[in-house]
Chain A
Amino acid sequence: MTLISTDAAVASSARKILVVDDESHILHVVSLKLRNAGFTVVTGSDGQEGLDLAHSELPDLIITDFQMPQLSGLELCRRLRQEPATSHIRAIMLTARGYQLGPQDAEQSGIRRMLSKPFSPRHLLATVNEVLNEAA
C-alpha cells in the first residue's frame, strides 16, 4: 500500500504507546503504523489487560477502543486518571461514528481526542503526534 513518506520522519524517540482494542485487526493496523513511525508499541486485547499493561509499562500515551467487554475504554481511562502513577497518561479514544464524549467525561478520563471508526491510520498518526506535542 502506498503511504505518505512522513511516517518514518517523525521524531518519536521511541516513545511508548499502549493500544487497547478487542478487535485484533485494529491492533495490527495501529501498531504497524506506529512502529513504522518509530514508536514502541504495546498491545492489550481488552480493558482489564489494558489496565494491567498501563501499570506495568507506564506508556506515554494510550489509544483505546471505547466499546470493550468487561472494562470499557472510558472506564479504563477514568481508573488510570484516578491513580497518581498513571494520572498523567494521555489518551485517544476510538469510537463508533457519531459517538460524542461529554466535557465532564473528557476531564475525568484524560481523553484528549476521539476518532471514529473506521479511522484513517494516517490521521491517527498525526493525532498521536499532536497529542504528544501538546503541553501536559
Chain B
Amino acid sequence: MPSQATITDSSSGAAASVPTAVLDTLASRWRCSGLFISLLDPAGAVVYHDSHASPFFLEYVLAQFRAELGKSLALGADRIGRAPVDRSIPGVLLDIHPLIEKRRMQGILVLAAVDAAIDRTEDLQRAAGRLRLDAQWLLAAARRLPPADDNSFAHRSRLLLDMLHDQIRLAAVQREIDSVSGELSGSYEELTLIYQLTASMHITRTPADFFRQACTEYNEFTGVRSTGVALTVGSLPGAAPAMFGPMSLPAPELHRLGSLLVDAFNYDQSPIIINDLAASPSYAFLGRHARQLLAVPLFRPQKHLGALFALDKIASDFDSHDVKLLISIANASAIYLENSILYEDVRGLVMGLLHSLTSAVDAKDPYTCGHSRRVALLSRRIAREAGLDEAQCERIYMGGLLHDVGKIGVPEHVLSKPGKLTAEEFDLIRRHPAIGARILKDVKQIQDVIPGVLYHHERYDGGGYPAGLAGENIPLIGRVICLADCLDAMTSTRTYRKAMPLEAALVEIDRGRGRQFDPALADALLRIGDGRLKSLLAAHHALGGGGTLLDSAGDSAPAIGETR
C-alpha cells in the first residue's frame, strides 16, 4: 500500500487523498524548471519531499523546514487570514497551500524556487551559518538552478497546482472505478449464486439437498462459518433445524435458536443482525459457541415458513451486502419451499387416494388384504436392485399399487372361490389386466404406469396373458410387477391354498428364471435375499399394512403358475 498524503482540491472544495506516486511524478516533471515540492504534516514535519532535488533544496530549504520553520509554516497555514507569521527563507520563494479535508487541515504543500535576487540577499550568509553550511557553496548550488521572480514563480506554482488537482481527480476517478468494479464484482457473485440456486430448484430434489447447497454457497461467498435453516412447525412435517458449514451448534442450542427465530419472525419480518451475541440478552446462550448472528425470515405472502440464519462471519461484522444476499437467498428458498410443500401435499393426496382405491379392491377378497401395497413395495425394491433410476422406481411403485385395480370388474365370488376355477371363471379372472388398463386410460399423468397394469401377467417365455408377449417385448414395468406379484402371492395364504415360506418361494422364483420371469430381474430379486425382503415387509406391517404370512411355514407348495 503506497503511503498517501491528502490535499484539497481548491477549485471544487472536494478533498481527496494523493498517493506519494502522484507527487513523485509531478516533482520529477517540474524539477528542471527549478520548482521544489514538499509536503508537511499539520504539525510542520516533512512527510514528503522531492528526493532528487538540488542540494540547495535538500541541504538548505529542507533543513530550514526541519528547524523551526516547519512549525511556523504550520502555524501560518493554520492562521491564514489571521495574525501574520514569519515564514520566509532568505533567497527562496515559497508558496504555501494548506490541505483541508473535512474542515480539518491534513497537511501543507510547500513549493519553493530560488529567488532571482538571491545574490543581493545578505541574510543568506547568516542563515547558512546557522545551518553550518558554506554560503559560497550554497550560492553556487543556487546558481545552477533556474531563478524565479515573484511573478513567474506564482505563475509556475499555479500551473503545478492545476496539474496536481488533475492528478488528484484522476486518482479519485480511478478509486471510484475500482469501487464500482468491486460492487459490480459482488453483484456478479450474487447473480451467479441466485442463478445456480434457481436452476437447482427441481421439485424432485429434497429440501435438505436444496438448503445444503444454498447454505454452503452463502458460507463460501460471505466467509461465514455456518449457515442454517429452521422451519415453522407444519411447513415441512418433521423437519428439524439444520446447519451447514465447518462450525455447528450442539442440538439443544440449535433447536432453541431455531424456535427463537421462527417465533421472532412471527411478529416482525425485519432481519436480525447481532454482532456480539454474548452481550445480547435473548441470544446470550449462543455466546459460548458463536459471536455473530444474521437471520432473515423465509416468507411467502401470508405464509411464514421459517428462518435462514448465518453464524460467525470470520473477517468482520455482518454488513448490508451480507444481509441483502441472505434475503435474496431466503426469497428464492421460500418460493422453492412453498412449491415443495404444495407438491408434497398433492403427492400425499394422490398416493392416499391410490392406496384407498387399491385397498378397496384388495378388500373384495379377504385373503388379498394389503397385497397391492406389498407388490408396490417389492416392485420398487426389485427396480432399485436392478439399478433403475429413482424416478423410474417411483413409477414402478405406483404401477405395483395399481396392478390389480381391474379386479374391481371381476365378481367377488370368482375372486374368493376356494378350490379350482371353471374355464369361464378363469376367463373372468384373466380380464382384470385389461379392465385395469381401461379404468386408468384417461388419467394422463399415469400413462407410463398403465403397461405395468396391463402386462403384469405376461410370461417371459410368451405363455402369459393378455397379449402373449415374450422377453423384452414385455414392458419392463410389467416384468418387474410380475415378479413381485408372484412372490407375494406365493407367500400369502389364498382361498385356494396356504402360504409358502419365503425361502421356498425364492427357490420357485429361481426355477422360473427365463421361463416365467425376466432372468436379470429374477437375479436382482434373489440378490436382495430373504433377510432383507423380510425386513422390508416387516416395515410394511409396522405401517399397518395388512396381513401377509411370510413367516408361517405352510407345507403345501403350489406351482407358480397357479397364482391368479
Contact = CB atoms under 8 A, between A and B. Distances in A.
A113 interface: no
Is the interface on chain B under 10, 10 to 19, 20 to 34, or 35 or more residues? 20 to 34
B412 interface: no
Given A28-B177, A32-B185, A2 B223 contact: yes
B319 interface: yes
Given A5-B315, A120-B192, A123-B192, A28 B221 contact: no
Given A2-B319, A2-B322, A121 B223 contact: no
Interface in B138-189: 177-178, 180-186, 188-189
B182 A32 contact: yes
Q: How many interface residues does chain A have, given as a range? A: 10 to 19
B321 interface: yes
B4 interface: no
A136 interface: no
Given A28-B181, A121-B185, A5 B192 contact: no
Given A2-B322, A28-B177, A32-B182, A121 B188 contact: yes
Contacts of B183: 1
A9 interface: no
Contacts of B180: 28
A3 interface: yes
Of A1, A32, A118, A123, most buried by chain B (CB within 10 Å of CB) is A1
A118 B185 contact: no
Nearest to A117: B188
Nearest to B224: A2
A1 B186 CA distance: 6
Given A1-B183, A4-B221, A119 B322 contact: no
A8 to B, nearest CB: 12
Nearest to B195: A118
A33 interface: yes
B192 A2 contact: no
Nearest to B192: A120
7 contacts: A2-B222, A2-B321, A28-B177, A29-B181, A29-B185, A119-B192, A122-B220
Interface of B: 177-178, 180-186, 188-189, 191-193, 195, 220-223, 313-316, 319, 321-322
